[in-house]
Amino acid sequence: MIGFEWTAAKFFWFYFVTFFSFLYWTYYGMMTVSITPNHQVAAIFAAAFYALFNLFSGFFIPRPRIPKWWIWYYWICPVAWTVYGCIVSQYGDVEATIIVPNMSPNPMIKDYIKDHFGYNPDFMAPVAVVLVGFAVFFAFMYSYAIKTLNFQTR
């Protein structure tokens, strides 16, 4: 439907990125519930970060257009790494041309995502490590908060 190629490597990269994205979101939700006194506060806390994650994911504002004083947040945003992994794993080696308005000659897809979005096709291994790292970090924070924080008042 959206032009994915039917190769085993791209299939497994897609499912790797998707699986670890679901995993770190699950652990992120568990972490927010464990560091707040109740689920209502956790929902407010998480919603604030959801907005920031979406804004700095590189989807609405491409990485080259994010101001230099905010680029640090792009690099610590888990959604940015997920978007990076999905786009690079599926389109990072595609040499077909794409028609872009007001751009001549028509660039190859792999060149367009590198020039417009700043996505390097050779950066897939660090993306995989960071996605696993986010899942491990959020799981660790959850387990640490459950062990050390106590919000019971009697």
Every domain of the chain and the residues it spans: 8-148
User: Using CB atoms within 10 A of its CB, is residue 120 exposed (0-12), middle (13-18) or buried (19+)?
Assistant: middle
Name every residue whose Cβ is closer than 8 Å to that of residue 1 and which is 6 or more positions away in sequence. none
Residue 23 confidence (pLDDT): 98
Residue 106 confidence (pLDDT): 87
Q: pTM for the complete prediction?
A: 0.89
User: Using CB atoms within 10 A of its CB, is residue 51 exposed (0-12), middle (13-18) or buried (19+)?
Assistant: exposed
Contact yes or no for 121/110 (Cβ under 8 A): yes
Model pLDDT for residues 127-152, shown as the tens digit of each residue: 999 999 999 999 999 999 999 998 88
Which two tokens mark 128? 């995989």
